[in-house]
Amino acid sequence: MTEPYQGDMQKETSLLDGLDLISSEFIQNPYPIYTKLRQHSPVTAVKNGGYLLVRHADIVTTLKNPGFGNAPSRFSTLHAKNREKYTAADLAANILPFMDPPEHDLPRRIVTLAYRNRMTQFIEELVQTADIFASRVNSKEPCDVVTQIASPFTYVTMCRFLGIPDSDGEYLKQLSEFFFYLFAPINDPDKFNEINSRLVEFREYFRACLQDRKSQPKDDLVSYLYQTDYQGEKLTEDQVIDTCILLFADGVENVHYGVGNVLIELGTHPE
């Protein structure tokens, strides 16, 4: 393993200063850029703020450093002080990606238990759902695997995992796109207002689901998240709702783009 980077972060980020992580060039083939960064500028300034670390040793060192954390800084619009002002800030305060230990520990344990209990029952249905979508591919006809197979498969699967109607999947997938703005700089006030508005919609949807499960529990993840406890402690209703948003959005996003990446690699390196 290489030694952690010891350079001056402010002075030694000139190779690709202002690196744009969403540029078409970077998205299409980031690997040559990563190679240059590792060789010449392992800590690099990113356009719109922040720094990118590309060496394993630096990443491990940073993750172990208590001076760094997941919680939004006091300068961020997502900081907990803005919870009553912005839905985005209130939601961020309730989900694991924006929490640090020890606050992170209890919710993580409860979510893990609920997720595991639901997955134990869901495996067979997951395989059946995958088989149904795979059977739609006709080897004699062109098929856009990402839009025709991967995308609907992901949101239908997450709907069934959570216990909500398949027919709501496409609508929730659209709302998921606004959820991921929480993890990126937002410099447009109008866009930020739209994000908050859509997150309110997202919350209202799962709040209605939760109210139904409180009176009529089912074998689904919404029910398990509400019912599961760890040493007598449970998630709050808002934490259940926001965790449902997190899990749906992540489940759809990761598989949707993951399938696309696998196909690219398969086409590029068929061996």
Whichever domain contains 198, its CATH number is 1.10.630.10
Residue among 38, 41, 39 at smallest CA distance from 17: 41
- Same domain? 43 vs 7: yes
Q: Are residues 5 and 131 in the same domain?
A: no
- Do the Cβ atoms of 37 and 52 come closer than 8 Å? yes
Q: Which domain holds residue 170?
A: 74-268
Residues 176 and 121 in one domain: yes
Structural domain count of the chain: 2
Q: Indicate if 155 and 24 belong to the same structural domain.
A: no
**One domain for residues 241 and 123:** yes
Closest CA to 2 of 65, 54, 67: 54
Q: How many CB atoms lie within 10 A of CB 60?
A: 13
> 17, exposed or middle or buried, with CB in 10 Å at 0-12, 13-18, 19+?
exposed
CB 45 within 8 A of CB 10: no
pLDDT score of 229: 97
Look at residue 196 in the predicted model and tell me its pLDDT. Answer: 98
Do residues 151 and 211 both lie within one domain?
yes
Q: Which of 52, 68, 84 is the last residue of a domain?
A: 68
User: Comparing C-alpha atoms, which of 163, 125, 171, 182 is closest to residue 244?
Assistant: 163
- Our measurement of the distance from residue 257's CA atom to the centroid of its chain's CA atoms, rounded to an integer in Å, reads 12
The tens digit of pLDDT for each residue in 179-196 reads: 999 998 888 999 999 999
pLDDT in tens, 77-102: 999 999 999 999 999 999 999 999 99
Q: What is the mean pLDDT of residues 14-25?
A: 72
